[in-house]
Chains A and B, each alone.
Chain A
Amino acid sequence: MTSTGAAPEAQATGAGGAALVIERVTKAFGSFVAVDDLTLTIQPGSFFALLGPSGCGKTTTLRMIAGLEQPTSGTLSIGGKDVTGTRAHQRPVNTVFQSYALFPHLTVGENVAFGLRRTRANDIAKRVADGLDLVELRHLADRRPGQLSGGQQQRVALARALVNRPALLLLDEPLGALDLKLRRQMQLELKRIQTEVGLTFVHVTHDQEEAMTMADTVAVMNRGRIEQMGSPAQLYELPRTTFVANFLGQSNLVAGTVVERDEKPGLLGVDVGGTRILVPQQRAVRTDGAVLVGARPEKMRLLVGDQAPGEAENVLGPGVVTDVSFMGVSTQYQVEIAGLGTFGVFAQNLLGGATVTVGSPVRLAWAVDFTFGLDGAEAADEGTFDLDDEL
């Protein structure tokens, strides 16, 4: 792969994209701090997702990387080169905008050629054709953007950014305007293209499933800061804050107090409403005082009657099943335990549908190894959705 004629700085980075280093970046709009002392390194060639609710600062971060906003303080460097203070057109970065922002007065082909013409690239016609092939839209090269469907426009926007072989490709909620089915299809498509072209992708989204499907590394942002960063599996299996636990998938969180340490090696004993729950010390944010004990709903199972729990399992209950929803691949139960609250349990439908009916008395069991402990000072509902939030 030769990257002849892309943005001048992009040439040096070659096919693998470039690393992005954000150091102590703060962005304030008046008294509102959108991004608060952010430090972040994105590895070359990776698919990085910035995940968070609207207003968490993820889009502002992206716009600062693109050069459309300047940080109030801190520095940004791309491929080892400090780009703080340079303007958008001087950076080897291209963006797929949420609104696509295709030029309505140009054809699809001219839209895709726009960046190449600015950098006086060689072989523009061929590269445009290749770019359109990548998104399977070559046959529409002479149409105007207004004549395309939303999904097609989205792909044109992607091709328009990709043909420049930028050191960094920024995606600003690029799938937000598409319907669910098309969105899933485009997620796989984007992942395929990223693997194929091997560029560094930085993807901003509020859709946790989208982030987990596509990204190698996910950074969960909240109130201008990164709450936690890691691979999707790491974040999901071991959230370190209630915000992450609730925003990324669902979590059952229940308040408790650490009452014993190292009575069993490497395990904390937590008193939850009179019941002893074991939490691996490695998986606990704090090892004394008030904690929140958590477990994912699919890790939990229902114990009916006098069914015995497994060897290394925590047990809570008894409680009562208050709701049963059949979801096809799984059944979701809501279990109310007096004094502790409501718990969600996802059961795979290995042998058909629901096995327990509403009103049945049950207990909950889950493996000690999948239990995590969070700081009890945090609100247990941080990061959950209000019904009137966008979903």
Chain B
Amino acid sequence: MSITAALGDTVAGDPSAAPPPRRTAQRAHLVLLGPGIIYLLLFFVVPVGALLATSLYVPVPGGDVGQYQPAFHWQNYVDAISQFWPTIVRSFWFALLATGAALVIGYPMAYVIAVRARGHKLLQGLLLVLVVAPFFTSFILRTIAWKQILADDSFTVSALHWLHLLPADARLTATPFAVVCGLTYNFLPFMVLPIFAALGRLDSRLLEAGSDLYASPTTTFRTVTWPLSMPGVVAGTLLVFIPAAGDYVNASLLGNNTNTTMVGQVIDSRFFKVLDYPTAACLSVVLMAAIMLLVGAYIRRAGTEELV
């Protein structure tokens, strides 16, 4: 009784009597959030603002290459999109393929670790370490390794030739296939881990209930396991799709610069080689906006309230 009365006083009671503790609490919140807010302001909000501004710049008349002045030249967007839309579409297409492949490969991995290895803590830990192990080596190095694996004189290619799975004149390196493989490989752990977390929480008694209610193992998977792992699947697909759509390392190391170019590569070369900052900024903004739209639509469809 006295406790509820005291609580009522602080929360809903006379403001003149109660404010000191509240104000202190608010100040504490601000102090705790402060560093994060400052950090994000400096390194996220300001750069994004600068990016948006840059995307509307125009070249300085009679100036050097790479000299631009502030303006509101919306035509930049029209030019950038009309010139590079096939690259943008290809980026999303590759990202989608890589996400699908990562899901197909990653879900069974996560299932085995979370459900089959349940109760064997040591094995589970070992398998998780193996999933995360690639992170101990540099992203670039691993992608270069893929270059070796898929090279024309590599064991992989000669074995595929020998098995007649690959036509004699065909190659793997510098193909869209190689780029999608690289993307899939590099982002696979981001698919496995959230699905593992979701399946780890799955109560195995629900699976028994499913089988008790006449559902075969396949049906139980479709009607119980899969829906209950959806939060992990949604998180995993987002964590793979978003960075894959903007990636340029895989495309530049494993691609051929003609039919594998991704938008990240274009942004990279516009910024650092051609010094065409407004177009690079335009493409960055378009990529960002497109990803946000796609992800928003996806989350709305997948309907996992827990994620947003």
Residues of A within 8 A of B (CB): 7, 66-68, 87-89, 93-95, 97, 99, 101-105, 114-115, 118-119, 160-161, 164
Binding site of B, secondary structure by majority: helix, strand, loop or mixed?
A: helix
Taking a contact as CB atoms under 8 Å apart, the answer to whether B227 and A97 are in contact is no
Taking a contact as CB atoms under 8 Å apart, the answer to whether A101 and B206 are in contact is yes
A7, A94, A114 pick with most chain B CB within 10 angstroms: A114
Taking a contact as CB atoms under 8 Å apart, the answer to whether A97 and B214 are in contact is no
Taking a contact as CB atoms under 8 Å apart, the answer to whether A68 and B215 are in contact is no
Interface residue stretch chosen among B105-113, B144-152, B216-224: B216-224
Quick one: closest A residue to B226, CB to CB? A105
Taking a contact as CB atoms under 8 Å apart, the answer to whether B211 and A104 are in contact is no
Judge whether B208 is part of the interface by a CB distance below 8 angstroms: yes
Bound form: Cα–Cα A160–B213 in Å: 9
Range, interface on chain B: 10 to 19
Judge whether B203 is part of the interface by a CB distance below 8 angstroms: yes
Quick one: closest B residue to A7, CB to CB? B214
Taking a contact as CB atoms under 8 Å apart, the answer to whether A114 and B215 are in contact is yes
Bound form: Cα–Cα A160–B206 in Å: 13
Binding site of A, secondary structure by majority: helix, strand, loop or mixed?
A: loop
Judge whether B212 is part of the interface by a CB distance below 8 angstroms: yes
Residue contacts A-B, CB under 8 angstroms, 14 given: A68-B208, A88-B212, A89-B214, A89-B215, A89-B219, A95-B209, A101-B203, A101-B206, A103-B206, A115-B213, A115-B214, A118-B213, A161-B213, A164-B214
Known interface pairs A104-B228, A118-B219; A89-B211 also in contact (CB < 8 Å): yes
Q: How far apart are B252's CB and chain A's nearest CB, in angstroms?
A: 43
Known interface pairs A103-B224, A104-B228, A118-B219; A88-B203 also in contact (CB < 8 Å): no
Q: Which 10 A-B pairs have the closest CB atoms?
A: A115-B213, A101-B209, A118-B214, A88-B211, A101-B205, A89-B211, A95-B212, A105-B227, A89-B214, A114-B213
Taking a contact as CB atoms under 8 Å apart, the answer to whether A87 and B228 are in contact is no
Number of interchain pairs (Cβ within 8 Å): 61
Additional pairs, 20, CB under 8 Å, beyond known A68-B208, A89-B213, A99-B205: A7-B214, A67-B212, A89-B211, A89-B212, A89-B214, A89-B219, A94-B213, A101-B203, A101-B208, A101-B209, A102-B209, A103-B206, A103-B224, A114-B223, A115-B213, A118-B213, A118-B214, A119-B214, A160-B213, A161-B212
Chain A residues with CB under 8 Å of B210's CB are 89, 103, 114
Taking a contact as CB atoms under 8 Å apart, the answer to whether B213 and A164 are in contact is yes
Q: How far apart are A68's CB and chain B's nearest CB, in angstroms?
A: 5
Chain B residues with CB under 8 Å of A89's CB are 210-216, 219-220
Q: How far apart are A147's CB and chain B's nearest CB, in angstroms?
A: 14
Q: How far apart are B177's CB and chain A's nearest CB, in angstroms?
A: 37
Bound form: Cα–Cα A102–B206 in Å: 7
Bound form: Cα–Cα A169–B215 in Å: 17
